[in-house]
Amino acid sequence: MKTDTFQKIAEHDHTGSGKGTQIGTAAIVADAVTGAKIRLDNDEYLRGRNFADSDNLSIVKVNASDLMEFGLTANNFNIKNNTFITGRNQANSDNIDIIKVDGGDKLEVGTDVSKLNLVNDLYLQARNQANSGYINIAKVDTSDNVLIEAHTISQQSSVTLADNQPTTSAGVITLGSNEAAKIHYRIVRNTDVQSGTLEIEQSGDLLFDEYIGDDTGVTFSLNSGALEYATTSTGNTAAFTYVIIKK
């Protein structure tokens, strides 16, 4: 009895092969397994069944460097609105805000970006004013040249030029140190329309001034990097619309 019965019962560990039937899922009560009963070995994935029920898929693990590692591409990963995804700083003494969707549903970066790598020959884009499409800004092409889209500008604005301004006015445009710029402009004064191009540099030279259309009575000069103007007396102000491309 001791050898054939009681000893064999004591040896039952439910591993099969005469030591008791292995415990199946149906033998475990729902919610019976707690966190204290679950611990994966290091570098061992938690797994899940695929949709076809034909294979196991790796989900997540703690790898050999003691870092969490995902085994699958995440299909949906939602962070609470206006809450940053954070990363540990180099000294491992604090968390650094990385990125979030803010209270206005806009993407906000929480720290300086030291490097931004785009795929070669792929444009950096921005949303247009109507929010109906994207506008190409710049890219590095297949020959490693930096291309800027023709409609991309550094500054666009419009000002009113006073009538009967015989001497130079306050600067309409001011260049920084060692800057140069090309200015495409349009002047509308009553029924007269003048379209032209200016090229200026910070040293004080007005390199190029050419226009087509009407003579609106506006002349330009450069004073210490500031583009100034003078106007004749016609009884009408002038609308000066311009686009600046700096270099």
pLDDT in tens, 122-170: 999 988 889 899 988 888 989 888 887 754 455 678 899 999 998 776 6
Q: Which residues lie below 8 Å from residue 169, measured CB to CB, with a gap of 6+? A: 161, 162, 228, 229, 230
pLDDT in tens, 2-35: 666 656 666 777 777 777 777 888 888 999 889 8
CA angle 36, 40, 46 (to 5 degrees): 110
Fold of 155-246: Immunoglobulin-like (2.60.40)
- φ, ψ at 65 (rounded to 5°): -100, 10
Residue 60: alpha-carbon gap to chain centroid: 28
Q: Which residues lie below 8 Å from residue 186, measured CB to CB, with a gap of 6+? A: 193, 194, 195, 240, 241, 242
Q: Spell out the domain ranges in the chain.
A: 2-70, 78-115, 117-152, 155-246
pLDDT value for 58: 96
3-state helix, strand, coil in the chain (%, to 5): 5, 40, 55
**Over residues 168-177, mean pLDDT:** 74
Residue 106's alpha-carbon distances to 82, 84, 121, 199, in angstroms, are 9, 13, 26, 38
CB 96 within 8 A of CB 102: no
Question: What is the C-alpha separation between 89 and 96, in angstroms, rounded?
Answer: 6
Comparison of pLDDT for 17 and 197, the residue scoring more: 197
Beta sheet of 68-70, edge-to-edge order = 46-49, 56-62, 68-70
Find where tokens 């583009």 sit: 227
pLDDT value for 148: 76
- Which of 195, 196, 246, 197 has its CA nearest to residue 225? 246
- φ, ψ at 184 (rounded to 5°): -100, 125
Kindly give the residue spans of alpha helices, DSSP state H, lying in 74-172.
Answer: none
